[in-house]
Amino acid sequence: MERVAVIGLGLIGGSLSLDIKEVFGSKIIGIDGSLENAEKALSLGIIDEISTIENLTNVDVVIIATPVDTVSEITKQVLNVISDDTLVFDVGSVKEEICLALENHPKRVNFVAAHPIAGTEFSGPDAAIRNLFRNKINILCDIDKSKKEISDKAFLIFEKLGMKLKFMKPAEHDRHIAYVSHLSHVSSFMLGKTVLEIEKDEQNIFDMAGSGFESTVRLAKSSPSTWTPIFTENKKNLLSSLDEYIKNLVEFRSSLKEGDKDEIFKMMKETNHLKEILNGINKNY
């Protein structure tokens, strides 16, 4: 793990760089479409040098942490130049498209499709932090399509960074993540949009935000550059989850309009079960 390249120096790429540098003492080669980002990452000590994809002929690992609609194309370019023992992995939030796109690439065995479930609502090199991945789940898709030396190298990195591994088929991953993650983001963004449209007086939003609004719209601070491609790449699954969500809101609205307290109470009581499910998070980790 002497030389590790990171393409995309935002929250995830930058945080991976910091951890890998600390844990393995690696030299980090940074690549970013924005020279400003790359230089900021260099000045923050996140990376050790700035380079380009063509120069990645002699590195141990390449991490692709760019917006999901660019991952397939960039990964192909990377696989075309790397050596036989270079591990390439991505960290994108949508997995079916990338796995399909690389299926027949001669260097497919060098690639691992990963999705570490970690992040904050912040973005860019400034948002990079140490230990972002400690005790977090990392979902690996189609791991049987990587050769053993490559998956072993990936497991070693993920383990040393404190991640817990979970294995899924790409389609299965995209379906689950649409409901549990992507829908949460849409829900939060649209809540924020609704309140901004109605509340012309921003002081009111500020004053009343402690009433539950602040945590519920936390995700609406997320980067549109990151999330627009995630939503469109996972369109099919996100549309289904949105349909279910809108259906439930319309049903709630109808119960409220009728003043059906029993039904409203029942819907909330059943949903309270999430308490036990989410408490597991603190219990097990």
Task: With CA atoms as reference, report the closest residue to 227 among 262, 185, 264.
Answer: 185
Kindly state the smallest distance separating residue 145's Cβ from a second copy, in Å. Answer: 22
Site string for a second copy, 100-129 (x = CB under 8 A): -----------------xxx----------
Binding positions for a second copy, 77-96, rule CB under 8 A:
93
Binding positions for a second copy, 218-277, rule CB under 8 A:
218-222, 224-225, 227-229, 231-232, 235, 238-239, 241-246, 248-250, 252-253, 256-257, 259, 261, 264-265, 267-275, 277
CA distances from 6 to 13, 107, 199, 274 (A): 6, 19, 42, 37
Task: With CA atoms as reference, report the closest residue to 249 among 192, 181, 187.
Answer: 187
CA dist., res. 237 & res. 285, Å (int): 29
- Give, in degrees to the nearest 5, the angle at Cα 280 between 11 and 267: 100
Query: Is 155 one of the binding residues for a second copy (CB under 8 A)?
Result: no
Binding positions for a second copy, 11-30, rule CB under 8 A:
none
CA dist., res. 262 & res. 60, Å (int): 61
Binding positions for a second copy, 156-215, rule CB under 8 A:
166, 176-177, 179-181, 183-199, 202, 204-215
Which segments of 161-182 does DSSP mark as H helices, in order? 170-177
Kindly state the smallest distance separating residue 82's Cβ from a second copy, in Å. Answer: 29
Kindly state the smallest distance separating residue 39's Cβ from a second copy, in Å. Answer: 24
Q: Toward a second copy, which CB reaches closer, 146 or 241?
A: 241
Kindly state the smallest distance separating residue 203's Cβ from a second copy, in Å. Answer: 9
CA dist., res. 242 & res. 240, Å (int): 5
Neighbours of 86 (CB within 10 A): 23
CA dist., res. 156 & res. 163, Å (int): 10
Kindly state the smallest distance separating residue 92's Cβ from a second copy, in Å. Answer: 13
How far, in whole angstroms, is CA 227 from its chain's centroid? 9
**Which residue in 54, 106, 144, 281 binds a second copy (CB under 8 A)?**
281
Q: Toward a second copy, which CB reaches closer, 35 or 281?
A: 281
Kindly state the smallest distance separating residue 164's Cβ from a second copy, in Å. Answer: 8
